Amino acid sequence: MHTVVVGTSGVTASDVLAVARGGARVELAGEAVAALGAAREIVEALAAKPDPVYGVSTGFGALATRHISRELRAQLQRNIVRSHAAGMGPRVEREVVRALMFLRLKTVCSGHTGVRPEVAQTMADILNAGITPVVHEYGSLGCSGDLAPLSHCALTLMGEGDAEGPDGEVRPAGELLAAHGIAPVELREKEGLALLNGTDGMLGMLVMALADLDLLYKSADVTAALSLEGLLGTDKVLAPELHAIRPHPGQGAAAANMLAVLKGSGLTGHHQDDAPRVQDAYSVRCAPQVAGAGRDTIAHARVVAERELASAVDNPVVLPDGRVESNGNFHGAPVAYVLDFLAIAVADLASIAERRTDRLLDKNRSHGLPPFLADDAGVDSGLMIAQYTQAALVSELKRLAVPASADSIPSSAMQEDHVSMGWSAARKLRTAVDNLTRVLAVELYAATRAIELREGLAPAPASQAVIDAVRAAGVQGAGPDRFLAPDLAAADAFVRGGELVAAVEKVTGPLQ
């Protein structure tokens, strides 16, 4: 099994995906163990002094003014975890929780948190055992980190609360730890706080969304090209020299992908035939501009994610010169903003795909296709309601595009008076990515049927490869009305699993 080694300088997006989705094992680098030990010595030296130090010998948040005596400090650390594990609502997905735990471990291993090496090792052991704490949907404001979600993970570390075992069964965490030979952790000064103060949940969801969107933006270029063929559009608007004079990188990549798919098509260039048109509609002609803008947004979001992956987010932090300083690095604004930016881009990409689908189904705008691509219009409804479903998804995506990061609700008796809502931005982006996949699946379904109905005209080799592959995957072609939901589900799985892009790349080579 693949192993990810965690050092002091952060991790990569590939590491996160390997642990969260691939079940990779986690090991601590020697440098991380050394850094953990050195930082812990600093914390213990401060803990021995009479002067109060935030997070070491004081309360937290609005209660930070109270100095805590030595005999109460272990109880203080237990109490912060128990009291902050206050999440509610549905369970969060296993991959999100694994990303959350792994990214917290990444910061712990930086040597800036003051956590003992044995605590970090236990975190790794829990990941390696396939134990997943039960984390709930609601509880994070994205400031002071993802407090409630991380607290539920820390609760498992203490052998308390509930967790899911590798068999998928939810059991008391203490039982699961015992079954895997893992001793619960007795938290000491600062450790409870250090386990809770991070942007790890929102960052993990950002990393996974970026991976998903890489695939979906390529998929969108393919479905846009198929729709262009189905509508007998022109590929002249995709010429590299046109995009070179407006040099947005994403736009050029999208146009190049569409052009690669359409190479050798007998369906393009018929816009001057029986019903001549000077230009294709915006949803066809401007596909690279819209998809390209989304690609450039993804590129910006990736820069933010990479910076965050290299960060040590905690409060207070242990500095190399021995100081333990309070800071505001736990504020989720940098991550929250790009999560919201991506939700906007996703909504717009879905919106333009739905407009192309509607055009394929409208006999007044489809340039010779039957109404709703029906076999016997009137007797058959064709794909009429498939477009309704697509429209409902797009409408939901527009609501999900309303930014979470523009909101703030003060908390902790006005001590934490401005929060990022980054966790909420991440949760709605996950739904948006899911729904974009469905929208593209409907466009794929309509466009492939439209191409097949253009009798006597041969599609591009790459388009034909898609049609062959999607039919082999159980998505049926043109014909009388039938139970449509299974076809749409099969098309969704075809896009979601990467088979659409794979079918094209067998002909075109790698897409951009």
Active site residues: 54
- Describe the crossing of helices 13-20 and 94-108 by its angle, rounded to 10 degrees: 130
Mapped onto helix, strand or coil, the DSSP state of residue 90 is strand
CA-closest candidate to residue 334, choices 355, 364, 313, 361: 313
d(CA 391, CA 302): 29
Cα–Cα distance, 351 to 398 (Å, whole number): 9
Sign of the torsion angle spanned by Cα atoms 251, 256, 257, 259: positive
CA torsion through residues 11, 12, 18, 20, sign: positive
Instruction: Report d(CA 397, CA 342) in Å as an integer.
Output: 11
In order, the DSSP letters of 279-337 are S--HHHHTHHHHHHHHHHHHHHHHHHHHHHHT----SSEE-TTS-EE---TT--HHHHH
Going by C-alpha positions, the residue among 311, 305, 333 that lies closest to residue 419 is: 333
Note whether 408 and 421 are within 8 A (CB): yes
Residue given tokens 């909101």 in the structure block: 407
CA–CA gap between residue 320 and residue 206 (Å, rounded): 30
Burial of 201 (0-12, 13-18, 19+ CB in 10 A): buried
Of 409, 422, 283, 254, the closest CA to residue 342 belongs to 422
- 3-class SS at 170? strand
In angstroms, the CA 372 to CA 303 distance is 43
Other CB atoms within 10 Å distance of the CB of residue 417: 12
Residue 25: its H or E element:
strand 25-28
Q: Tokens for 23?
A: 């079940």
Q: How many residues does the chain have?
A: 512
